[in-house]
Amino acid sequence: MARISRLAQVLAVVTLSFLCSAVPAMAADALADPVESLLVFNNASSAAMPGLEAQEEYSLALAGEETPYFPTSVQPQKAPPLPLHTIEGVGGALFVPTAYLVNPGPEGTVAGMPAVSMTYLNTLKGKDLLSVAVTRTFWRKLEVGYALTRLYLGNLPHAIWKGTGLSTSKGDVLLHNFNARCLILEENTFGDWCPSVVAGMQTKYNSSMRDLDNDLGGIPAMMGYEKSNGVDYVLTFSKTIPPDTFGLPPIILTAGVRNSQASNMGLTGFGKDYSTTFECDIAVLLAENLAVGYEFRQKQDPYHPIAPFKKEYDLHAIRCAWIINDRLTLAGALSYMGTLTNTDVPLALGLQLKYEF
């Protein structure tokens, strides 16, 4: 029953986030001057990532003095719905952000349309993770978003009771991610070698760890748990190698550095000291609607393990993304997560469904 209740909370937050993001945009579109909107799209590049430009053609016909022009074809091709959402709710892969913003819209866009996603990760060890996210990009420069991540703890409460005699009613933890990312350097600004550069700040709040710490008599605090909230500072570089440069399809290379206090990305709280870690991703566009990739994210464990809790390890994942159409993407992933609380996770299965309005 507790798990159903938590899931209901997740779905309620997704629905409210979508309504808050989508309704103002739809209203603005309904009130916009159709001719002005047409001109904006006509003069814009709708590519979200280099190498994936969409060609847009319009034919205007004279309709008389009352309505001087009207479009005979007003179906501009939207940019492909990439990148995906990370489980923390920013544009990227499964765990690693990329330096491309989500659904920025064509040139001249003030507020891009929102994008929403749901990601499910099963560890095959009695624990699972569910993340729902919504993002929106403004002025093609600023991506803001929110994600609610739920981790089901599986057998952890029983293992704690068995080892210490302490019990907790917490069967899962909830992590709130409030994100802002800014494009500080556009790709190719200083030449073909120049990457895209994005700086991000992820403010996180864990609404469950304080109660868990109290239930367990301060054991997490003994390990190094300090607080329920923290901020990750992330700097990300991405560069797309155009097709046929090396006789290969388009390749997107990403590297980033992160400064964080988080344990398990904040799912198990935050320590006292900041640590700087490295992360990277490589994606290959095998076809117009198919991309594969590998990602790596270094983790610096801020805690001192005490049974039954175990030390953290770096994350690895491979993924495949199917671009179903210009709005919908379905992605699957296989991930090595090392350990998660008290469980070794050599293989986790992930699935994400993402929609751009």
| 304: three-class secondary structure by DSSP | coil
**Residue 105 pLDDT > 50:** yes
In whole angstroms, give the CA distance from residue 183 to residue 200: 9
Mean pLDDT of 57-68: 35
Count of other CB atoms within 10 angstroms of residue 55 = 8
pLDDT band, very low/low/confident/very high, at 159 (cuts 50, 70, 90): confident
Q: Select the highest-mean-pLDDT range: 50-59, 160-169, 206-215.
A: 206-215
Domain residue extents for the chain? 2-356
pLDDT(57) > 90: no
Instruction: Convert the pLDDT of each residue in 17-41 to its tens digit.
Output: 444 444 444 444 443 443 333 223 2
Residue 257's pLDDT band (cuts 50, 70, 90): very high
Among the listed ranges 15-19, 41-45, 48-52, 134-138, which one has the minimum average pLDDT value? 41-45
Quick: pLDDT tens for 284-294.
999 999 999 99
Position 160 pLDDT exceeds 90: no
Establish how many alpha carbons lie within 13 A of residue 131's alpha carbon, considering only the half-sphere containing its beta carbon. 29
Distance of CA 355 to CAs 7, 135, 273, Å?
20, 11, 37
The residue that leads in pLDDT, 42 or 118, is 118
**The residue type at 102:** V
Give burial (CB, 10 Å; 0-12/13-18/19+) of 169. Answer: exposed
The reported pLDDT for the residue numbered 99 is 98
Confidence of residue 76 (pLDDT cuts 50, 70, 90): low
| φ, ψ for residue 212, nearest 5 deg | -65, -40
The predicted model scores a pTM of 0.79
pLDDT at residue 178 above 90? yes
CATH superfamily placement of domain 2-356? monomeric porin ompg (2.40.160.40)
Q: Side chain identity at 167, as an amino acid letter?
A: S
Q: What is the pLDDT of residue 25?
A: 44
